[in-house]
Amino acid sequence: MANKITRENIGSPNAPFYTPPSGTLVKTTQSNGVISKIPSLFTSLKIRGITLPNRIALSPMCMYCAAGDGTLTDWHLVHLGQFALRGAGLIMVEATAVTPEGRLSPQDSGLWKDEQIAPLKRIVDFVHSQGVKIGIQLAHGGRKSSTIAPFINAKAYENNKITFPQLLPEEFGGWPNDVFGPSPVQWDAEHANPKELTIEQIHMIQEAFVAAAKRAEKAGFDIVELHYAHGYLAHEFFSPISNKRTDKYGGSFENRVRFGLETAKKVREIWSEDKPLFVRISATDLVEDDEEDSWEIKQSVELSKLFKDLGVDLIDVSSGGNTPKQKLLLKELYQVPFAEEIKKNVDINVAAVGKINDPKLANGIVENGQADLVFIGRGYLADGNWAIRAAKELGVIIQTPVQYHYVIKNMMKL
C-alpha cells in the first residue's frame, strides 16, 4: 500500500513531498535463496533520543566558501543536501567558528551571531525532510587562525608572494594581531605569533561555545560536536607542546584538560538532554621525539573517561595537527588503531575517521568492535554515492528518495 501523503509527512518548505528516510536498510540481497547477513555498517545506532539508520557519517570538512561574515550560502545547501539524498546516516556541518577571531580563514563557517542561524536552519530543514540526522561541529582555531584558505590561488595576494600555508595579513581580510592561544607559541614561522589568553578571555571563549550551541539548538540540529582536534584551541591546551602556562590551565594533565572539560560541561548543561554531544580529539600529536613532551594516546584514553563522566556521548578520534614535527603517514585506516584503543578502554561510543574508502574495510571496523560509527570525508567528495555503492558491495539495498530509487535499483542491478 502506498504511503499516504498528509500534512504531517510532507517534507519541508524546501521539499514539499513525502520521502522515506534515506539510508535506511530496505532488504538484503539473496544468494541461492539464502538471505545475506546484515552488514554491521548498515545496522542502526541509537544515542540518547537520536537513532541513526546506519553507521555511515559524512565527516565535517572545511569547504572555505562561507560568506565574509561566516554565513553559509546556497552552495552549502546543495553540497550538504546531496548527501541526504544518497544514504548517509548522519551529516556533519564543517568546523563552525564560535567567534570571528576563531576562524581559520575569512571563508570559514560561523555561528557567533543570531543572523547566522537562518541559513543553517534551511540546510537542517532540507536534511530532515529526507529523514536524515544532521550535526554541527563547533570550533575555535586558536593559534592556527587567520590563514589563507587552502585552495585560494596565491596569485590573488600581492603578486604571488604569499603561498599556502601562510598567515593572512590585515589588508587581505586577516586578523594576525588578534590571534590567541594558551601560550605565545607559534605553530610555525608561517603562522601568527599568538597572544596568551587571559583567564577572562578563556571564560569568554567558553561562553561563546555555549552561545553557539544554543544557536545550533534554534537551527534544529540533532547533534553538536566540539572540535578539540587538529591543533585548534582545545588541542593546544591539551598538549604540552603548545601549552606552557603555569596557572590552573597549564602544567599537569589535569590543568591542561581543564579548558576542554569545562567547555564540554557548560555545553552539555544547555544542550537538549535527548540530543547527543560528540567531541573530536586528536588522539596523539604523532611526535616521536623523546626529548619533548607531547600529547599521546594514553592521555586521550584518560581524557575520554572524563568526557564520559560529563555526559559526552561519542569520541570522534582523529590525530595530529598541533606541530610541524608530526610524523603523519596518510595510509588507509591509519587512525583506526587510536579509535580502537579508546573503544577498548572506555565505555563510550567511538567514531573512526581517516582514509576509510573501502566499504568492506569500513564494515569491518564496526563488525570488529573497533568503532561504532565511521566518518567518511574524502571518499564522499570523490563519490557522492559512497553509501549506495557500499550497500551494493555488502549485499544490501538502502532507501534513497522515491524519485531516484527505482532508477538506482535498476542501474545498479539491485
Q: Is position 241 within any domain?
A: yes
Those residues with Cβ within 8 angstroms of residue 60's Cβ, 6 or more apart along the chain or in another chain: 92, 93, 94, 95, 136, 137, 225, 227, 280
Mean pLDDT within 2-30:
64
Q: Taking 70 as the threshold, does the pLDDT of residue 234 lie above it?
A: yes
Q: Taking 60 as the threshold, does the pLDDT of residue 212 lie above it?
A: yes
Q: pLDDT confidence of 13, banded at 50, 70, 90?
A: low
Q: Is position 393 within any domain?
A: yes
Q: Taking 80 as the threshold, does the pLDDT of residue 221 lie above it?
A: yes
Q: Is position 9 within any domain?
A: no
Q: Is position 86 within any domain?
A: yes
Q: How many CA atoms lie within 13 A of 401 on its CB side?
A: 21
Q: Taking 90 as the threshold, does the pLDDT of residue 273 lie above it?
A: yes
**What angle separates helix 386-393 from helix 359-367, to the nearest 10 degrees?**
70
Mean pLDDT within 334-339:
96
The residue that leads in pLDDT, 189 or 9, is 189
Please report, for the domain that includes residue 192, its CATH number. Answer: 3.20.20.70
The residue that leads in pLDDT, 161 or 331, is 331
Q: pLDDT confidence of 17, banded at 50, 70, 90?
A: low
Q: Is position 44 within any domain?
A: yes
Prior bond of 16 cis (ω within 30°): no
Please report, rounded to a whole number, the percentage of residues in the chain having pLDDT higher than 70.
Answer: 89
pLDDT of residue 150: 80
The pLDDT tens digits for 52-90 are 999 999 999 999 999 989 999 999 999 999 999 999 999
Q: Is position 5 within any domain?
A: no
pLDDT of residue 10: 52
Mean pLDDT within 383-399:
92
Q: What are phi and psi of 281, to 5 degrees?
A: -125, 155
The pLDDT tens digits for 294-321 are 999 999 999 999 999 999 999 999 999 9
Q: Taking 60 as the threshold, does the pLDDT of residue 154 lie above it?
A: no
Q: Which domain holds residue 229?
A: 25-411
Q: Is position 119 within any domain?
A: yes
Least confident of 3-17, 122-136, 215-229, 349-363: 3-17
Rounded-to-integer distance, Cα 75 and Cα 66, Å: 9
Please report, rounded to a whole number, the percentage of residues in the chain having pLDDT higher than 90.
Answer: 77
Strands 396-398, 133-139: pairing kind: unpaired
Residues annotated as part of the active site: 232
Q: Taking 70 as the threshold, does the pLDDT of residue 46 lie above it?
A: yes
Q: Is position 387 within any domain?
A: yes
Q: What are phi and psi of 401, to 5 degrees?
A: -55, 140
Count of domains forming the chain:
1
pLDDT of residue 3: 47
